[in-house]
């Protein structure tokens, strides 16, 4: 990441890749529309003649009435496809329950007994740590596998968000939301609470460590 970065973070999941493709697709359509409108406005401003046939021209009215719905269809179809992909959960090998608190996260690996922990932001100003986004207990998850996340809250509304994985899901008290997680490669992924939840809202980061399955099994056995 760099300062004044206008583009997305590098995608680390298939869903994030599809979101970037959809963004580029939509931006291309918007640029074409803006270019056409700008050309037409400049042409009209510089044209000193008046076309007597343009008034009440049914063909022109038909074109400018039917063109916008067609453009919206080209935007809506991939958008609906992405919405269904975000809600689809296919054969998860692991379920993780996540609870938001003021102001930390707690995790529970419900497929295993006695594997649960709380994750707080680290106050250590060590140069090796990332400031304000490093946590004391990282969430360990294997990559290349479908994982189901169940998110809720014990107090106020929070939002569990990992931008590079295209995940943003609200943690609502009394309600359990679920989402599918799939990571393409090993690494460290960071996020933060994206719903204002109190005075320390900015200090409840999220840190995921993606490792291979063998190392994950070893971590489970030695937890």
Q: What is the DSSP string of 122-148?
A: -----TTSPTTT-BSSPEEEESSS-EE
Give the pLDDT score at 5.
Answer: 57
Task: Provide the β-strand partners of residue 109.
Answer: 96
Residue 96 backbone phi and psi in degrees, to 5: -125, 125
Out of 52, 87, 122, a domain closes at 87
Whether the CB-CB separation of 159 and 171 falls below 8 Å is answered with: yes
Of 5-14, 182-191, 207-216, minimum mean pLDDT range: 5-14
Residues 44-66, mean pLDDT to the nearest whole number: 80
Task: Provide the β-strand partners of residue 108.
Answer: 97, 116
Q: What percent of the chain has pLDDT over 90?
A: 31
Same domain, 217 and 132: yes
- Strand duo 205-211 + 139-142: pairing: parallel
Whether the CB-CB separation of 212 and 142 falls below 8 Å is answered with: yes
Give the pLDDT score at 3.
Answer: 55
Out of 87, 105, 123, a domain closes at 87
Residues 82-111, mean pLDDT to the nearest whole number: 88
The tally of domains found in the chain comes to 2
Quote the CA–CA distance of 120 and 218 in Å, as a whole number: 24
- Predicted confidence band at 206 (pLDDT cuts at 50, 70, 90)? very high
Same domain, 196 and 132: yes
Show the tokens assigned to 59.
């063909």
Give the pLDDT score at 6.
Answer: 65
In a domain, residue 9? The reply is: no
Q: Above 50 in pLDDT, residue 28?
A: yes
Same domain, 64 and 145: no
Residues 78-91, mean pLDDT to the nearest whole number: 84
Q: Above 60 in pLDDT, residue 126?
A: yes
In a domain, residue 3? The reply is: no
User: What's the predicted TM-score (pTM) here?
Assistant: 0.78
In a domain, residue 186? The reply is: yes
Give the pLDDT score at 1.
Answer: 47
CATH no. for residue 30?
1.10.287.90
187-201 residue pLDDT tens: 889 999 988 888 888
Q: Above 80 in pLDDT, residue 120?
A: yes
Of 2-16, 53-67, 139-153, 197-211, minimum mean pLDDT range: 2-16
Task: Work out the mean pLDDT of the chain and round it to a whole number.
Answer: 86
Same domain, 79 and 105: no
132-151 residue pLDDT tens: 888 888 899 999 888 999 99
Give the pLDDT score at 61.
Answer: 84
In a domain, residue 74? The reply is: yes
Range of the domain at 107: 94-222
Same domain, 110 and 178: yes
Give the pLDDT score at 142.
Answer: 92
In the Cβ-directed half-sphere of 94, how many Cα atoms lie within 13 Å?
A: 23
Give the pLDDT score at 2.
Answer: 52
Same domain, 25 and 126: no
CB neighbourhood size of 52 (10 A): 6
Out of 47, 70, 87, a domain closes at 87
Same domain, 105 and 215: yes
Give the pLDDT score at 197.
Answer: 86
Same domain, 125 and 32: no
In a domain, residue 133? The reply is: yes
């Amino acid at each position: 990441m760099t300062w004044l970065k206008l583009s997305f973070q590098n995608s680390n999941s298939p869903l994030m890749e599809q979101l970037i493709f959809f963004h580029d697709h939509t931006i291309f359509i918007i640029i074409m529309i803006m270019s056409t409108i700008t050309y037409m406005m400049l042409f009209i401003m510089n044209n000193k003649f008046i076309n007597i046939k343009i008034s009440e021209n049914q063909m022109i009215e038909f074109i400018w009435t039917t063109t916008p719905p067609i453009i919206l269809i080209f935007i809506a179809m991939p958008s609906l496809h992405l919405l269904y992909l975000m809600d689809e959960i296919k054969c998860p090998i692991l379920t993780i329950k996540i609870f938001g608190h003021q102001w930390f996260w707690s995790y529970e690996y419900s497929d295993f007994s006695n594997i649960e922990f709380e994750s707080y932001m680290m106050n250590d100003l060590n140069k090796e740590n990332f400031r304000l986004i490093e946590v004391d207990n990282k969430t360990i998850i294997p990559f290349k596998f479908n994982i189901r996340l169940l998110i809720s809250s014990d107090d106020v509304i929070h939002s569990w968000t990992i931008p590079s994985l295209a995940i943003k899901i609200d943690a609502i008290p009394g309600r359990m939301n679920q989402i599918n997680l799939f990571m393409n490669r090993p690494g460290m992924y960071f996020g933060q609470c994206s719903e204002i939840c109190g005075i320390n809202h900015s200090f409840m980061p999220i840190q995921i460590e993606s490792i291979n399955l063998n190392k994950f099994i070893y971590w489970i056995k030695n937890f």
